[in-house]
Amino acid sequence: MEAHHLISDSDFEAQFQNCSLNPQLFTHEAHLRLAWIHVSRYGVDVAIGNITAQLQAFVNFLGATGKYNHTVTIAAIRAVNHYYLRSKSKTYIAFIGEFPQLKNQFKELMQFHYEINIFTSEKAKKVFIEPDRHPFD
């Protein structure tokens, strides 16, 4: 279990929003957890607005603006939403246990949707690129 699991969903969300979350805790899985929290609480459209703004503020606060990727961020939220709509889980831990491919095969999942490599594309870092293979829900 990753260290971010020791923080409640509400505290995790608040710490991320106010840039007080330890950056070492913000792993790929923590990014998925943040998406799950926002999708489950606010719906996918609000989740996208919240997380993109908060993540940009977080990386700016850390002086790591080059790490932000707009397409990967939105694609991750949409992928979480896709599985959330099919889930029976009431907690993030149960959710990621139900759909471990989000954590363990994320790049492969993105290749299902994208022909281009959204992880290295300079355009994808700046603007959202719609999937060119298969759309999200």
- The mean of the pLDDT values for the chain is 95
Report in angstroms the alpha-carbon separations of 73 from 8, 32, 48, 49, 77.
Answer: 22, 9, 8, 11, 6
CA distance 105 to 57: 27
Summarised one tens digit per residue, pLDDT across range 30-65 is 999 999 999 999 999 999 999 999 999 999 999 988
Q: Give 89's pLDDT tier (boundaries 50, 70, 90).
A: very high
**Helix (H) or strand (E) run with residue 116 in it:** none
**Contact assessment for residue 135 and residue 82, using Cβ atoms and an 8 Å cutoff:** no
Q: For Cα atoms 106, 135, 126, give the angle at the middle one, nearest 5 degrees.
A: 70
Dihedral (CA of 84, 87, 89, 94) sign = negative
